[in-house]
Amino acid sequence: MLKAIKKQRRKNMPFLNNKLFLKRWIPFILLVLFLLGSIVSFLVLFLFPTSDIHAVEKKEDWIFYAEDNPESTFISRYVKHLPSVKANDRFVMKRKMTNDYKYPTMLLIGDHQHMTVYLDDQEIYTNEEPNDPLTLNHPGKTLAFITLPEDYVGKTLKIYVTSPFDTYSGFPAEVFFGPANALIGYVFSLSILNIYILLFTGFICIINLFYVIVSFINQRKLKLSSILFSGFALTAGLEAGFSDMLGGLLFPPIVNSAMLNILSIITPMFLIGFYCTNMHFVRKYYQKWLYFHYSFGLFAILFALFQTKSLPTIMNYMFLLNITSTFVTSFAAIYEALKKNPFFVICAPWIVVAAIGHCFLYIQDILVLPQSDVNWRSIIFFLLIIIFTCYGFLELFFSSEGKNKRIDTADIKLRLYEKQQANNPEQSLKMQQVLQAIKKRTHTVKDMLEDQQLAAAYEGLCEIEEQIKQQLTRPSVEKESLTTMLITNYQHTATQKRITFACDGIIEPLEQLEENDRLSLIAHCLEYAIRYTCAITDPQKRRLALRVNDTNGQLHIDCQMPLLSNEEAEKLQNDETKRQAMQADMQMLEQLCLAYQGSIRIEETNGLHLLHLTLRAKIDPLSFD
């Protein structure tokens, strides 16, 4: 036991001069270089995609009308939507082809729409498949390159557009004309940002999962917060990929549309789950909303798997749910920041801004309003991932400062075990004598076996077995718990400093906390209290009382001391060493309270200085990180 504790103690020793080794900065340096290289590449490709991209034209001189009412026509420059066109009604786009292109190509983009293209009376493209009921009822997001015939100039182009959904009916398809290579360059220029987001988020996901695995191997503790963040990074990147034009080229329309909608449901679920694991003060209330959001989201996904046609309709309800989540999350983040939760103190402003941005984007989706070619939703997710990653690196790199301030629990255990052994020298000596006798007898049996004296060797083994049984059945002195030994140690320290120390009935409630946290809490609390009480000049007034109450799973720890006079308080304030040590104790106690979803406060009333801590004895499943 002592060897294991000493090994842990050596492992936890701080670096010399409190400096970080270069190897701790290597991942950060590599990440920065990757980011800078990616940003430079993105800017070059974005600013100079192809030399002939200017040849791409998005024509706006269309004539719109409903097929069943061709007399009522509308010009596309003034009308962007025909609300009279309902589900499965045909909507016609018509224009005269005038421009002549080298390698003439048309890029056609439709959103949950069936499209059939005619050049005069010649059909040159259709995405309708009457023999496929799934595609017929759910056309998905379509992106198609159509090569025009050589004699297209002067002919009339007609595009018949229908949709099985009222939400997408009456909207025109997006049409671009130009040379084939220019259109490909145009698609690629719009896809660079989404490709970059997909690659970066995938890289962050892999690095984070590697960190989770290493932490689990070393600490045997699962970091749920990191797992949820990895899931959020992965789904946000995939959502950017499937919402891109290239997604329409790489996958069938229905697959691209279904995956995009499912990812739009899952990504916010991972995000709010990640927020919840970092909350301390409103978690039990936020969890209720979390369970409702998860239940509704999973129900929507399962329902869509059996009723694929209903997925676009369900998405409107999911967007409403996400809008509500943005408000709930914003209020929760602000409250956590006000309560000095470190994660939300730094990240809450960005979380609120991102929530507002997503709220407007979800409203646009519900109202089917025209949206920018820039994928703002994925950009906002991407910025959140960068912010959370930077916070994680800062927390990882500078956590050694807090570790140096925290009393080493391994050192506490080592001193307590050494003291316990020193108090029982006779028992330790007897045990060593027995072990030496068993070791000597074992060597004798080994020699007998080598000399083929099997009967004598068997008798020797029986004697060894009997000695071991005697030791196992011998009543041993009951060992005190580490908590009891630690408190006894501080009672001795208080006696030396002429402090009257009372702490009856505190062992059993504190046993509900983890051992390291329990020892650290007692040590920092009593170190603070003893330093404060020693500032009282009159030894007769030095009194210290520690009480612990368990109320419905809530631990209330009260440390009571006499209030210092103005002169004594000023003297303590001027003692730089004591003041810094007491501040470090308070910081560590605050961290322990946050870890157990509790709080800490100091009160001065009725001539007493009170240190009051509240902790949740039982932590819920989402709290381990």
Residue pair 56/182 in contact (Cβ under 8 Å)? The answer is yes
Spatial contact of 585 and 528, defined as CB atoms under 8 Å apart: yes
For the chain, give the percent of residues with pLDDT over 70.
Answer: 77
* Higher per-residue pLDDT: 423 or 574: 574
Asked whether the CA dihedral 615, 620, 621, 623 is positive or negative, the reply is negative
Q: What is the pLDDT of residue 270?
A: 96
pLDDT at res. 620? 44
pLDDT tier for residue 432 given thresholds of 50, 70 and 90: low
Report the alpha-carbon distance of residue 556 to residue 195 in Å, rounded: 52
What tokens were used for 432? 């060593």
Does residue 44 have a pLDDT over 80?
no
Average pLDDT over residues 29-49: 62
Nearest to 562 by CA among 594, 601, 599, 605: 605
Q: What is the reported pTM?
A: 0.67
Residue 275 pLDDT more than 70? yes
Q: What is the mean pLDDT of residues 337-356?
A: 90
* Tally of CB atoms within 10 A around 452: 8
Confidence (pLDDT) at 403: 47
Q: Looking at residue 334, what is its pLDDT? A: 93
The 10 Å Cβ neighbour count of residue 83 is 8
Please name the residue that has the structure tokens 């449901």: 265
What are 499's two structure tokens? 């402090």
Stated as kind and residue range, the H or E segment containing 343 is: helix 342-367
pLDDT higher than 80, residue 136:
no
Return the closest-CA partner of residue 118 out of 94, 153, 87: 94
Residue 404 has pLDDT above 50, yes or no: no
pLDDT digits (tens, 9 = 90+) for 535-584: 888 888 899 998 888 887 788 889 999 988 888 888 888 888 888 888 88
437 against 210, higher pLDDT: 210
pLDDT of residue 459: 78
**pLDDT category of residue 428 using cuts at 50, 70 and 90:** low
Residue 189 clears pLDDT 70, i.e. is over it = yes
Exposure letters 228-254 (e unless 16+ CB within 10 A, then b): bbbbbbbbbbbbbbbbbbbbbeebebb
Q: Alpha helices, DSSP H only, in 406-538?
A: 409-423, 425-450, 454-473, 482-496, 507-510, 515-534
Q: Tens digits of per-residue pLDDT, 283-340? A: 889 999 999 999 999 998 888 777 756 677 788 889 999 999 999 999 999 998 988 8
The answer to whether residue 521 scores a pLDDT higher than 80 is yes
Give strand pairing partners of 93.
64, 159
- Model confidence pLDDT, tens digit, residues 222-260: 788 899 999 999 999 999 888 877 676 777 877 888 888
Is the pLDDT at 587 greater than 60? The verdict is: yes
Instruction: Please compute the mean of the pLDDT values over residues 594-614 and round it to a whole number.
Output: 85
Which residue in the block uniquely carries the two structure tokens 């330093």? 531
From residue 254, give the alpha-carbon distance in Å to each of 117, 148, 471: 20, 25, 74
Least confident of 396-410, 437-451, 601-615: 396-410
- Paired strand residues for 159: 93, 117
Mean model confidence pLDDT for the chain? 79
pLDDT band at 479 (very low <50, low <70, confident <90, very high): very low
The pLDDT of residue 624 is above 70: no
- Structural element, H or E, at residue 92: strand 91-96
Of the given ranges (2-6, 103-107, 321-325), which has the lowest mean pLDDT?
2-6
**CB atoms < 10 A from the CB of 403, how many?**
12
Per-residue model confidence (pLDDT) at position 7: 46
Residue 18's pLDDT is what? Answer: 40
Q: How far apart are CA 624 and CA 46, in angstroms?
A: 43
CA 271 to chain centre: 7
What are 411-419's contacts with CB under 8 Å, separation 24+?
Answer: 411/9, 412/482, 412/486, 412/519, 412/523, 413/5, 413/482, 413/519, 414/2, 414/5, 414/6, 414/9, 415/489, 416/482, 416/485, 416/486, 416/489, 417/1, 417/2, 417/5, 418/2, 419/485, 419/489
Residue 369 has what pLDDT?
74
* pLDDT value of position 476: 43
List beta partners, residue 559.
Answer: 546, 611
The pLDDT of residue 97? 86
> For residue 15, is pLDDT > 70?
no
Residue 413 pLDDT greater than 70, yes or no = no
* 327 dihedral zone (left: phi>0; alpha: psi -120 to 50; beta): alpha
Mean pLDDT of 135-149: 79
What pLDDT was estimated at residue 412?
63
